[in-house]
Amino acid sequence: MTNEQMIKTIRDAVLDYNLDAAVDAIKAAIEDKMPPTDIIENALAPSIREIGDKFGRMEVYLPELVLAADIMNACTAMLMPLLAKEGKESRAPVIVAAVQGDIHDIGKNIVASMLIASGFNVIDMGVDVKTSDLVEKTIESKAKIICASALMSSTIGSQKDIIDFLTALGERDKHVVLVGGGPTSKEWADKIGADGWGPDATSAVRLVEEHSGVRGG
């Protein structure tokens, strides 16, 4: 099988949301000595981007996005050791969480799935995450970026707490804090000293890309 054929097989499997077929195709590509960066850049990334774009146009929905994220996770796990051998550094993880007191998970899940699908190493801490736990995990995992979601006007104060905790620990300058969720706004983000605000999951991914140096701007 040529490289082009292998790349097409991987892309078809991803676009068909077929985890097993994607894993088999990646295994075959690895056995055939295809460089892992080629697998990511030419096969996985374009197909995942296509799914993300379809989600943005509401041609596919959250279940497909979650499947795509699962595939990306599984494939990345296979490729990471090879990338390490090649001397490629893995990206610092991104912390994603619904803040303390907030149990709404769908917006947070969409952001996490889209980040995973975009190739980020995501630590999804779930919902109602205690601020101290979130900050502790951020420092321990050497995460650079925190995406903090709040869906209620009564929980957005917890976003400010994250910044206060980081500041108190002398860690504020080492981390990028991005906030989002229904009652939040650019003004709110500015008021609490957050580094960015996104009105939706697509803009959250763009902000993470910008702050991680993946994209200029």
Partner 1 sequence: MVQILDVMKKALEGAPMSEADWQRKLFAPTIRRLVKEHGIKFDPNNPIHSDDSLADDVFEAGFELLLETGVYCTDTSRIISYTEQEIKKALRNAPDKLRVGEGRDRKEFVPRKTEDKTPPWCLLGAAGAACSSDKSFLTLVEGYAEIPETNAITTPAITVAGGMRIRPASPLELYGTIRNAVLAREACNRVGRPGIPIMNSLATAESSISLAAALNPRFGMRSSDGYMIGCLDPMRVDFDRLNKVVLALSCGAPIGMDFAPLLGGYSSGPEGTAISDVAHHLMGVLTYQTSYSIPFPLHLQYISNSSREMLWVINAAGQAISKNTHLLSLSLNYTSAGPCTMMCLCETSASVISAIASGLSIESVGVASNKEEDRTTPVEPRVSAEIAHAVAGMKRTNANDLVKELLAKYESKLSSPPLGKTLYECWDPENRKPSKDYQDVIGAYKKEMAALGVELEPEMY
Q: Which of 12, 24, 200, 210 binds partner 1 (CB under 8 A)?
A: 200
Does 106 participate in binding partner 1 (rule CB under 8 A)? yes
**Subset of residues 26 to 45 that bind partner 1, contact rule: CB under 8 A:** none
Does 52 participate in binding partner 1 (rule CB under 8 A)? no
Does 193 participate in binding partner 1 (rule CB under 8 A)? no
- The Cα–Cα gap between 203 and 75 comes to 25
Q: Which of 182, 195, 206, 210 binds partner 1 (CB under 8 A)?
A: 182
- The Cα–Cα gap between 122 and 178 comes to 14
**Subset of residues 131 to 160 that bind partner 1, contact rule: CB under 8 A:** 152-158
Helix spans in the chain (H): 3-15, 19-31, 36-38, 45-56, 62-85, 106-117, 131-140, 157-168, 186-192, 201-211
Does 186 participate in binding partner 1 (rule CB under 8 A)? no
Nearest to 91, CA basis, from 213, 174, 210 = 213
Under DSSP, is residue 53 helix (H, G, I), strand (E, B) or coil? Answer: helix
Contact positions vs partner 1 (CB under 8 A): 55, 58, 61-63, 66-67, 100-104, 106, 110, 152-158, 182-183, 185, 200
